[in-house]
Structure 1
Amino acid sequence: MSIRNLDKAFKPQSVALIGASTKDHSVGQVVARNLFHSGFKGPIMPVNPKHRSIEGVLAYNSVDELPIVPDLGVIATPPDAVAETVRALGEKGTRAVVVLTAGFGEGGSEQGQQRRQQLLDAARPYTLRIVGPNCVGVMLPELGLNASFAHIAPNKGNLAFVTQSGAMVTAMLDWATPRGIGFSHVISLGDMTDVDFGDALDYLGNDPNTRAILLYVEAISDARKFMSAARAASRTKPVIVIKGGRFAEGAKAASSHTGALAGSDAVYDAAFRRAGMLRVYDLHELFDAAETLASAPQIKGDRMTILTNGGGLGVLATDALIGGGGKMAELSDETIQKLDKVLPATWSRGNPVDIIGDAPGKRYADALQILLEEKNSDAVLVMNCPVAVADPKDAADAVVRTIGGRRRPVFTAWLGEGAAREARALFAERGIPTYGTPEEGVRGFLHLVRYRRSQEELMETPPSVPDQRPADTEAARIALKKVLDEGREWTSEPEAKQILKAYGVPIVDTRIADDIESAVQAAEELGYPVAIKVISGDITHKSDVGGVELGLESAEEVRHAAERMQHTIYELRPDARIDGFSVQQMVNRPDSHELIVGATEDSQFGPIMMFGHGGTAVEVRRDQTLALPPLNMNLARSMIESTRVHGLLEGYRGHPKADIDAIARALNMVSQLVIDCPEVAELDINPLLADAHGVVALDARIKVQQPKATGAERLSISPYPKELERTQALSDGTPEFLRPITPEDEPALRAFFRRMTPEDMRLRFFSPMKELSHAFAARLTQIDYDREMALVAVNPDDPEEIHGAVRITCDPDNIEAEYAVAVRSDLKGRGLGYLLMQEIIGYAKNRGVRRITGDVLAENRAMLQMCKDLGFQSKHAPDDPQLIRVQLPLDQAAE
């Protein structure tokens, strides 16, 4: 990830257009016209040896002749000239280009791929950033810069729009401009040879003129970079995304249930959700969501009250709310009694609150005031259908007066034109979310619900994994290696179960039998009743070919079942080799539910976890959800709660509630198995039985592969770096256990800071602070290990007792990292601060960071002395005499 030199692309002070033209309707001519007539204040220098002037401005024969170094080069030359043009600009000092030209490998052209590599080679020596090629360009309304060949210039505003598709730029401008929607940036990324979504998100996430970021995504080029940047940006402002190609037929064919069910769009959906982004499905919804998130107040839940002057509107809104996953608020008896006093006797006496078609403004105001006090409701949708006997504008005025200057969770939907248009303008002027239909109003509310949930998931502190036992990773790796060494693609069922057992997933005792008599002997040893299943590397789903027999009560039944199995398989699959049978005890758990837990690899996002309703009808039910590992208990529970089977797991009609923690724990363990073992290509546990007593894996299989990278490198979200764990001794010999911080550490971190003196808190945070808030502590513990690192020193005998903490936060270019360190006040003077700093300095050097910086209060002499001892250079901060700026070039760091 990198934002290096992106300011030259998105805040240029001068521009050169190479390939400027006067030929009507050519790209060079359209771009020149847009550049010269959009209000850009800096120099614009056209380059074309065939023209004396472009748009009345002197043209230059070549880049070399340009009188000044342009911040940004815009290239509209034939493709074979692009690489040399980039090289010439780089030599001159330009550090960013927008390449509009196509012909760089679209569609797999070998010649185009060669041009692409030449383009990258030309830019690399100068760290010159490339937007494109094959893009429409960039538009920066704040600067009056339109470096594109779009036919419409965007309005000035505070939304940023980033897209791969050039056609989407023009379609969006056609839609947004007449509606008065404005932009801080419009960026067409094209083929993303260099600058991609991750770079754009990093830049725009820190741009003060951008209130929300809108994305049109077709494909992600670097999943980890994208996820890291998206999670960072989503913490600071709304990121709203449309994904093109939702129903592409190109999903990878897979032989496991999980692989078959994990379609590419579902994977993107999981990624967007994990990043805290809001996904929408069309342009109208995109801008509606952006405006709603900007203007509506925060909401606490998903319960809505509907206030309307038309019963039909209430029905439509109710359908949209329930269909979208929201809930109808239940009005209290007190609220109904209050409404009885101000509404006609014929009002609906429930939710939706139908105040009858002739409702004047006062009736709207009286009803809305009461509904805003209803504690069982999280928001109110107020609707108006035009009628001859009441004025829509009068009703709108009443709603505005009732809300007053307070930010209340009120949404409006005024139907029709004329007076309705005037009412909607009034609402928009007052910052009240307003829509043209009931469905749009409900959708606006649900955008807030989904966004709130995603933000909560980003900031939620997960509990520790209950009864977590260390995994036997070595045993699992040995078993997987054995399968690979034997040239097999799949483990047998018993092998898969032993691998799961190594990670703490409960399994049924299972024996392998080479032949029928061995199966009978295994059944006798296990005790009846038993189940037997065929073992064959050629058969994916055993039950489809009669390869499963259940509830066998005797040796004779086992023998006959195995013989039937052999005969049926021979008839249905004569090509399949039978390697033997697995024999296991029948599990008698009458209230249990059949679930599926799986993992597969996506070509872009790497390992993916799956959970859902299992059994033989898993593909028919299609009740599954996906998530990106690594998981924690909250993320695992969120997966469970997002399926329909969750309602059954919660218990019903005498059936006890299942042990949800046990299911979540199994998901966590499988997630860790996938992280630790890159040999796992696909995995199915189906069924995983779950009831009030826990879970047990009845059947499992694992597809293996030769590892192409470590487990951590395969993931799109950097996992917990266990390799940084170590025990170190302090100067007095006391051992301290050092490890990376985890989200589960939030309570311990807050307790740690509560044991610091007020003076130490002031020196650490530069202002008086009694304790950390949940939000602040969550931000300190829920870190992206790709961007920052925090180490905690804990009591080896009590892992929840933190003695000290140190962190660095790296810039997106991994050049500079800012440090912070704290030691519990009663443990100072034992060398723990030095130890923590030395550890984080060593980590930064290994990571390739060039320098560590920090700000220290001038009165904090102990910290300044430690920095001096460690090799930091110091000077007074230019903007604050109370602060000392310290810096450690890492090639000078003390070992």
Structure 2
Amino acid sequence: MSVRNLKSLFNPASVALVGASIKPHTVGAVATRNLFAAGFQGSIYLVNPRRTEIDGHACHADIASLPNPPDLAVIATPPDLVPEIIDQLGARGTKAAVVITAGFGEGGSARGQALCKAMLEAARPHLLRIVGPNCFGLMLPRIDLNASFIHMQPLPGQLAFVAQSGALLSTVVDWATHRRIGFSHLVSLGDMADVDFGDMLDYLSTDSHTRAILLYIESITHARKFMSAARAAARVKPVIVVKAGRYESSAAAASSHTGAMAGSDAVYEAAFKRAGILRVNDLEALFDAVSTLGQLQPVTGDRLALLTNGGGIGVMATDTLMYKKGTLAQLSETTMDRLNAVLPPTWSHGNPVDIIGDAPPQRYADALGAIIEDPGVDAVLVMNCPTAIGSSMDAAQAVLETFTQRSSHARRSGLLSCWLGEGPAEAARQMFHEQGIPSYESPTKAVRGFMQMVRYRHSQAMLMEVPPDIPENFTPNRQAVRKIIDMVLAEGRSWLLETEAKSVLAAYGIPVVETITAENPEAAAQIASTIEGPVVLKIQHGMILHKSDAGGVVLNLETPDAVRDRAICMREHFKQALDDVSALQFCVQPMIQKPHAHELIVGMHVDDQFGPVLLFGHGGTATEIILDRCLALPPLNMRLAHEMIAGTRISRLLAGYRGVPGANRADIAVTLVKVSQLICDFAEIVELDINPLLGDPHEVLALDARLRVAPADGPAGRRLAICPYPTELEQMIHLPGGQTLRLRPIRPEDEPAFQRLFNNLTPEDIRLRFLHPMKMMPKTLVVRLTQIDYDREMALVLTDGNGNQDADFFGVVRFSADPDREKAEFAILLDRSKTGLGLGPMLMRRIIDYARSRGIRQLFGEVLNDNRPMLALCKALGFKRRHVPNDPGVTEVSLQL
């Protein structure tokens, strides 16, 4: 359902507690006390058939006797009663409920699962939303609502914290209140029968009272909804997550290298990274990240300068920075001269800048003033350890005054602080916080906070970066792959033979070493005689997956006789392991000698929650021992492929070292993109390994491949956590004069073409399309319009018919739907040179038809009153018109689908 009726959940005017109680130490009693103690100004109704009042408040026997239907119901009754209560609430008009009660299938109880199903069925006809069951409830400090059984009242603030664990939520409230941290929302999701993390992200991303979203996740439901919501939320505000279960093993029985190396936590890591979410390891790091992201001025790099009155804490900070892969800033000669002029001769003469333990406040001010203006410094961490000579508070005041005085400087670094100790140091930290400067209790936390900012800015930059086009024409032979897969499934097999797997790769333009099948040792010898140079002999059988481990691979055989003899030995060896050796075959291929090649692995497996996951890393027979890999969710583009490569240790070797030339990283990235496309195209592919994939300065070459298939239960794109590019929407448009145009969905790579289309518009065109004048289109807007979520949005572009990647746009039509697909806002832009050809009506009809096919109920848009051609087109297409109350120059048009 997503955000439907969540307003009743998070902004209710009335609340009913079903299961109110006076019995000490019960959920009903604590929830009753919390509701009234928090100071909620709306109506509170108590429901308990055995009581007429509780603590002086009227109590009602049942839902029917309530004076008014509550916006929100909190249920703390035995589980057997919940489905009927939900039905009664829905019938009265209640749109949201929090089910605190447990007993709905935890631990696999069939009775509980049946109750959960009955509860949801009771809610569905009324569109009633449910948080829980088995949760601690929710707290909304902004409106003084505590609909939970947590032991204390949280402070109001601008952080939203959403957790599956109610006990953890209670702990966070206690921890945060002690540190004067406040919240806009605190929500315990429990078993997530209905409202889940995707729903919460969709709602909170547009909530004006929430500055950052904090998540504690044990598992997610509905991966595609989660990814869409997370990617949208991360574009507008920080989303920070703690994921529990980091070391859970989920691949012990995996049959491929990829399956063995891609544990569930690594998949979550890849998903968070793709969404632009910042992951931290624990709750302390979570709130440190909030402090940093909320207070530190945006930084443009990872170069950190350290200013300290103690050499030891400078070393600790440096160690942490190196461990976190940050950069110790190199101070310029100008900065060094300025520091030499104001510091005693015994200062450290480098970074960290140790101004010695007897530093008075002015020394802090002078040193910071020099460092903060250095163009080679992105941020400064100022540290202070207490001494009997200098005042910690005075030093803090000097730092703040210096930083404030330079607030208008054209180039100023960001500032973090770390005042160690208690008493005056605690007061200094509070003073920094009040002035918007993040402050930490230790150098380790401070550097970690800075690197969290670096990671967050990097993820935001990735979301805004325009990917390059694939550097070659890539037209896969899908029919050839379909034929192979259908044949294998018809024969009742799941694993493709090596030659079949390589044929699939070759159909997608992935270079493979020529491999020929031989039915017997004599045939293997004959094939070897036709190959120049030494050969490789491999066993080929559907039951033998890891051929090297089983003794089924022999390298560097020089003669046909040697090939025949080893094949005979192999057959005898495998007679002991296989019941039937009649299907045993051999593969012969040339022995590839590439002195500067690296053994890589490219793979894919299907995760239970996120669907297909891609893997890249260090390949070869020791790949599972080296465990150097990076995971990513498909679909990939060239930028994401290069990010995968950079996420491995072997990427440093691929750059070249000690006279060894670097590998062709572009070819490796292209291979990843092609594998991604293969996975997006065929739902039957459930496991894939290319190992090794050789990469050298000139090319890539797949030496071995494994591929497992299974019957598909739906279209290939449905199983992906991120909706892939919808190839099926591409079509050719034939104009009356003979010109042919191509209509296709927009791609992230289209940013330059979209920018050119905008640049060709006249000022009047821009005003009519964007409702106000605009001299240039901000890059953030261009990226937002080209990097769309195909699951919730669509933009169809009209370009020339030859399929050139750098072709100009002649028109764009789009819609963007709400998460519930109730409504979608449309827009259309047509180049003036293509008006009068009927393209505007054609584009509108295409987007209307597609919106209808996606289940969207209404299309709407805003049109200037003097844009008569657009209003006429909307009228011809059946749109209704309505004047916008607060803007008399604008008309809203809408079409029921």
TM range (shorter): over 0.9
> Match of 1:543, SS?
coil
Aligned equivalent of 1:839, options 835, 846, 852: 846
Alpha-carbon contact 2:38-2:145 (below 8 Å) kept: yes
User: Partners in 1 of 2:282 and 2:718 — Cα distance?
Assistant: 34
Q: 1:360 to 1:473 in 2, by over 3 A?
A: same
Aligned-pair Cα RMSD in Å:
1.5
Q: Within 5 Å, give how 1:779-818 maps onto structure 2.
A: 779-797=784-802, 798-799=804-805, 800-818=807-825
Contact 2:373 2:413 in 1 (8 A): no
Aligned to 1:110: 110
- The 1:571/1:399 distance shift into structure 2, 3 A limit, reads farther
The separation in 2 between residues aligned to 1:16 and 1:734, in whole angstroms, is 66
Tell me, yes or no, if the aligned pair for 1:750 and 1:771 is still in contact at 8 Å. Answer: no
1:7 corresponds to 2:7? yes
- Structure-2 separation of matches of 1:45 and 1:731: 69
- The question of 1:683 aligning with 2:703 is answered no
Q: CA deviation at 1:250?
A: 4.1
CA contact (8 A) 1:600 1:607 kept: yes
Q: Normalised by the size of structure 2, how large is the TM-score?
A: 0.97
CA distance in 2: counterparts of 1:515 and 1:378, whole angstroms: 67
In 2, Cα distance between the equivalents of 1:561 and 1:313? 64
| Structure 1 match to 2:368 | 368
Aligned position for 2:499: 494
Q: Which residue of 2 aligns with 1:660?
A: 665
List per-residue Cα deviations over 1:844-873 (Å, max 9, x = no partner).
Answer: 111111111111111111111111111111
Deviation at 1:279, TM superposition (A): 0.5
Q: Unaligned stretches of 5+ in structure 1? A: 891-895
Once the 2 structures are TM-superposed, how far is the Cα of residue 32 of structure 1 from its aligned partner? 0.6
Name the CA distance, whole Å, in 2 between partners of 1:599 and 1:777: 32
Query: In structure 2, what is the equivalent of residue 777 of structure 1?
Result: 782
Is the aligned partner of 1:821 residue 2:828? yes
Report the alpha carbon displacement of residue 757 of structure 1 after superposing the two structures with TM: 0.8
The whole-number CA distance in structure 2 between the counterparts of 1:240 and 1:73 is 29
Q: Quick check: 1:34 aligned with 2:34?
A: yes
Partners of 1:293 and 1:887 in 2: how far apart? 40
Distance in 2 (alpha carbons) for counterparts of 1:639 and 1:39: 51
Per-residue Cα deviation, 1:1-32 (whole angstroms, up to 9, x for no partner): 52111111111000111111111111111111
Structure 1: distance between partners of 2:148 and 2:238: 26
2:250/2:263 contact within 8 Å kept: no
Q: Which residue of 1 aligns with 2:205?
A: 205
Q: Any idea what SS the aligned residue of 1:542 has?
A: coil
Q: Alpha-carbon deviation of 1:133?
A: 0.7
* Alignment partner, residue 282 of structure 2: 282
SS in 2 for 1:242: strand
Offset at residue 326 of structure 1 (A): 1.1
Q: 1:485 aligns with which of 476, 479, 490?
A: 490
Structure 1, residues 354-381: CA drift from partner, whole Å, max 9, x if none? Answer: 2222122222222212211222222111
CA contact (8 A) 1:731 1:831 kept: no
What stretches of structure 2 of length at least 5 have no aligned partner? none
In the alignment, what sits opposite 1:893? none
Given candidates 873, 881, 885, the residue that maps to 1:878 is 885
SS in 2 for 1:665: helix
TM-aligned CA deviation for residue 458 of structure 1: 1.1
Cα-to-partner distance string for 1:274-303 (whole Å, 9 max, x where unaligned): 111010111111111112111111111112
Equivalent in the alignment of 2:81: 81
Deviations, residues 119-145 of structure 1 (Å, cap 9, x unaligned): 011011101111111111011111111
Secondary structure at 2:530 match in 1: helix
Written as runs of structure 1 = structure 2, the 5 A alignment for 1:81-480 is: 81-251=81-251, 253-404=253-404, 406=407, 408-480=413-485
- Are the counterparts in 2 of residues 534 and 578 from structure 1 also a CA contact under 8 Å? no
1:849 aligned to which of 846, 849, 856: 856
State whether structure 2 residue 870 is matched by structure 1 residue 863. yes
SS at 2:548 equivalent: helix
Deviation sequence 1:143-193 (CA, Å, 0-9, x none): 111010111111111100111111111111121111111010011111111
1:526 to partner: Cα distance: 2.4
1:335–1:573 CA distance, 2 compared to 1 (3 A): farther
Is the CA contact (8 Å cut-off) linking 1:538 and 1:577 kept in structure 2? Answer: no
Work out whether 1:695 is the aligned partner of 2:695: no
Amino acid at match of 2:287: F
Identity of aligned residues (%): 54
Aligned equivalent of 2:636:
631
Distance 1:340 1:26 in 2: 68
The answer on whether the counterparts of 1:546 and 1:569 sit within 8 Å (CA) in structure 2 is: no
Q: Distance in 1 between matches of 2:456 and 2:421?
A: 29
The one-letter amino acid paired with 2:192 is M
- What CA distance in whole angstroms lies between the structure 1 residues aligned with 2:838 and 2:817? 25
What is the one-letter code of the residue matched to 2:506?
K
Does residue 716 of structure 1 match 2:721? yes
CA distance in 1, matches of 2:597, 2:392: 56
Please state if 1:549 is matched with 2:549.
no
Is the CA contact 2:160–2:213 (under 8 Å) kept in the aligned structure 1? yes
Aligned residue in 1 for 2:24: 24
TM normalised by structure 1 equals 0.98
User: How far apart are 1:561 and its partner, in Å?
Assistant: 2.9
Deviations 1:496-545 (A, max 9, x none): 11100111111111111111111111112222221111112222221112
Q: How big is the shift at 1:489?
A: 2.2
Task: Compute the displacement of 1:251 (Å).
Answer: 4.2
1:729 aligns with 2:729: no
> What SS does the aligned partner of 1:233 have?
helix
More displaced stretch, 831-840 vs 483-492: 483-492
Q: Which amino acid aligns with 1:47?
A: V
- Cα distance in 2 for partners of 1:590, 1:193 equals 57
Q: Shift of the alpha carbon at 1:433?
A: 1.1
Preserved contact between residue 501 and residue 705 of structure 2 (Cα < 8 Å): yes
What is the deviation of 1:316?
Answer: 1.0
Per-residue deviation at 1:569? 4.5
Aligned residue pairs, count: 890
Structure 1 residue 473, shift from structure 2 partner: 1.2
